[in-house]
Chain A
Amino acid sequence: MFEAILFYSLAAVAVISALLVVTRVNPISSALMLVVCFMATAGVFAILGAAFIAILQILLYAGAIMVLFIFVIMLIGTDPADLKRRQMTFAKILGAAAAVYLAIVLGLAAWRPPFIAAPMAGDAFLSPATIGKQLVTTYLLPFEILSVLLLIAIVGAVVLAKKKI
């Protein structure tokens, strides 16, 4: 019961903040709302028993990536007066309608009560040691490719942005 209340409130926070991300005019507000959204998602992870994943979510997304996002937004410095007010256009209405339609279809397709709760993954399954071992056995190859990907990202950023390369 307690868990259900916690879950629904966190989920509500996540959804509402995600909506605010796209509706705020000020980019800083949007970014901060995204941080809130990540926190709420991390909370949902924690309820599912994946404390490690929850902490990583906060550490990486909220703590590192979003800080840099906000840093860049601040550095570029948008004056609130320069920001255009949002306008309704036909494309936007159409897109929103399509999104709502898809959501309803998916929701109807998925709505099959009574729901069976998925078994909780054990503590051993989600411990840092297990995740670490999985990373260097089953998921070693993706892990290595990921490092290549990050190398490309670093070199690419330098190539595109540095004054003199």
Chain B
Amino acid sequence: MMILDLLTALAKVVIIFAMILGVVPVLIWMERKGAAYIQDRRGPNRASILGMRLGGIVHSFADALKLFTKEEIAAGSVSKPLFYIAPMITFFIAIVTVGVVPFAEPLRLFGYEFNLQIADLNAGLIYVFAMSSIGVYGLLIAGWAASGKYPLLGALRAAAQMVSYEVALGLSVVAIFLLSGSLRLQDIVIQQGALIWDWNVARQPVAFVLFMVALFAETNRLPFDLPEGESEIVAGYHTEYSSMRFALFFMGEYTHIIVGSLIIATLFFGGWQFPFVAAELMRSNMDGVIVIGWPAAGIALLMFGMFLVSRFRRRYRDLRDYETLLFGVPAMLFATLLLIAWAGLLTRGYLDNIPAWIGNAVVFAVQLGTLLAKALFFCAFFIWVRWTLPRFRYDQLMNLGWKVMIPIGVANVVVTSAVMVFRP
């Protein structure tokens, strides 16, 4: 039993970390494409493997390859151990934060329970804050160890900014504690329910806005990317970094965005709750869900394939032209197979009584997908904001943090608690 528990824990860690790390290149691709569309251009679309460009996502892998093979440079004056450890800290802290996010309801299979959440702490949310508060060390150490003017300035900016916005971040969430009465993230998700107007974003819009803004500051993203403000201090705390150490900072930032999006989705957007369809409802009507969901998925895949095929043009006169066909035709074929299988199973009555474990698995998958979809939406939001808003000036940043957000946060807490007390 002990060994099994240990293996499950290990499996969870591997699955979740792999998931996060897998999303990182996608996010980089989203960032570059998003930037391109916002600036009315095409974005990366040249790199290809045997003619496959995957809409430019191959560029992410090319980048990774480039960073891996670059020379590592450490200037003579840096203090070596700290200089080397700083990017690791940044990346490590960013990724361990995900440990308390509940990705779905516990999955019950054959009498065994599998909870896709690394640690179900009763102080889960505080853990998130603790991790985000020590996340600044990576930046601080990096900036200091590089022993240069610009890195140090970047580190100082990072420290002041993150400490300041942490207060607002904490205050914004106090209202959520008050509503849910628990710090356990699973409880917060369950308590929100499946109805959109019961989600915390509807009940606590002020807290949501505060949280969102503070999160931007915590992740050092535009409009709060002063620690690396390239027009002022070169590249801030990672000026001196190159190769994979730089890449770790880079990945740390995107990991931070993903984890932050997961937290937003969990706290304010019902986590793994599928909109309007509660898990119980889905589970009790599983045959209907499968009968309707299966052909819907098939038709969607079919249409996607048709779309790809319709995009076939002889533009480059080489392998790249056939990429659409390479993906479109198999998709259409697979979709047809799916639909035929569905029709066959339906007419023979196999879909009338679904075993419970399939139902549980489907619910689990739907919940996981829901949460990831919500999180990806917020990742996209992060990118959208980055390429839309200009950077703050430093005093404006501090004013916003201390004189606007914190008072609003306090007022929100007071109002919420007053409502909680005096509500009949």
Contacts and interface: CB of A to CB of B under 8 A. Distances in A.
A160 to B, nearest CB: 19
Given A62-B133, A67-B137, A128 B162 contact: no
Given A32-B141, A67-B159, A128 B133 contact: no
Interface in A57-82: 58-59, 62-64, 67-68, 70-71, 74-75, 77
Interface string A25-63: 000100010010000000000000001100110110011
A149 to B, nearest CB: 18
A123 interface: yes
B64 to A, nearest CB: 31
B79 to A, nearest CB: 9
Interface in B82-123: 82, 121-123
A59 B163 contact: no
Contacts of B133: 58-59, 62-64, 67
A39 to B, nearest CB: 8
A52 B159 contact: no
B122 A64 contact: no
A123 B120 CA distance: 13
Nearest to A53: B123
Contacts of B156: 71, 74-75
A46 B126 CA distance: 14
A55 B126 contact: yes
From DSSP, what is the main secondary structure of chain A's interface residues? helix
Interface string B118-145: 0001110011011011101100110110
Nearest to B137: A35
B160 interface: yes
Given A63-B134, A64-B166, A55 B123 contact: yes
Task: With a 10 A CB-CB cut-off, give which of B121, B127, B140, B162 has the most chain A CB atoms.
Answer: B140
**Chain A interface bracket (under 10, 10 to 19, 20 to 34, 35 or more):** 20 to 34
Contacts of A58: 130, 133-134
A153 to B, nearest CB: 15
A51 B163 contact: no
A9 interface: no
Interface in A106-133: 123, 127-129
Contact of B126 (A56, A67, A68, A71): A56
Contacts of B182: 129
A51 B140 contact: no
Given A128-B122, A128-B123, A71 B130 contact: no
A56 B155 CA distance: 24
A70 B140 contact: yes
Given A67-B136, A74-B144, A55 B130 contact: yes
Candidate in B82, B126, B130 with the most chain A CB atoms within 10 angstroms:
B130
B152 interface: yes
Contact of A52 (B122, B155, B163): B122
Given A62-B133, A62-B134, A75-B156, A67 B140 contact: yes
Given A59-B129, A59-B130, A71 B123 contact: no
**Main SS of the interface on chain B?**
helix
A127 B163 contact: no
Contacts of A35: 134, 137
Contact of A71 (B121, B129, B160, B181): B160
Contacts of A77: 152
A59 B137 contact: no
A51 B144 contact: no
A32 B137 CA distance: 9
B214 interface: no
B127 A55 contact: yes
B372 interface: no
Contacts of A28: 144
B171 interface: no
A75 B183 CA distance: 36
Contact of A68 (B122, B130, B132, B163): B163
Interface in B142-186: 143-144, 152, 155-156, 159-160, 162-163, 166, 181-183
Contacts of A75: 156
Nearest to A123: B122
A92 to B, nearest CB: 27
A75 B82 CA distance: 18
Nearest to B124: A55
B134 A51 contact: no
B132 to A, nearest CB: 8
A64 B164 CA distance: 10
Contacts of A129: 181-182
Contact of B122 (A32, A74, A127): A127
A67 B152 contact: no
A62 B162 CA distance: 13
B163 A67 contact: yes
Nearest 8 A/B pairs, CB to CB: A63-B133, A59-B130, A58-B130, A71-B159, A52-B123, A55-B130, A63-B134, A55-B126
Given A35-B134, A59-B126, 9 more contacts: A32-B82, A51-B121, A63-B136, A70-B140, A71-B156, A71-B160, A71-B163, A74-B140, A128-B183
17 contacts: A28-B144, A32-B82, A32-B141, A51-B123, A52-B123, A52-B126, A55-B121, A55-B126, A55-B130, A59-B133, A62-B133, A62-B134, A63-B129, A63-B133, A70-B144, A71-B163, A74-B144
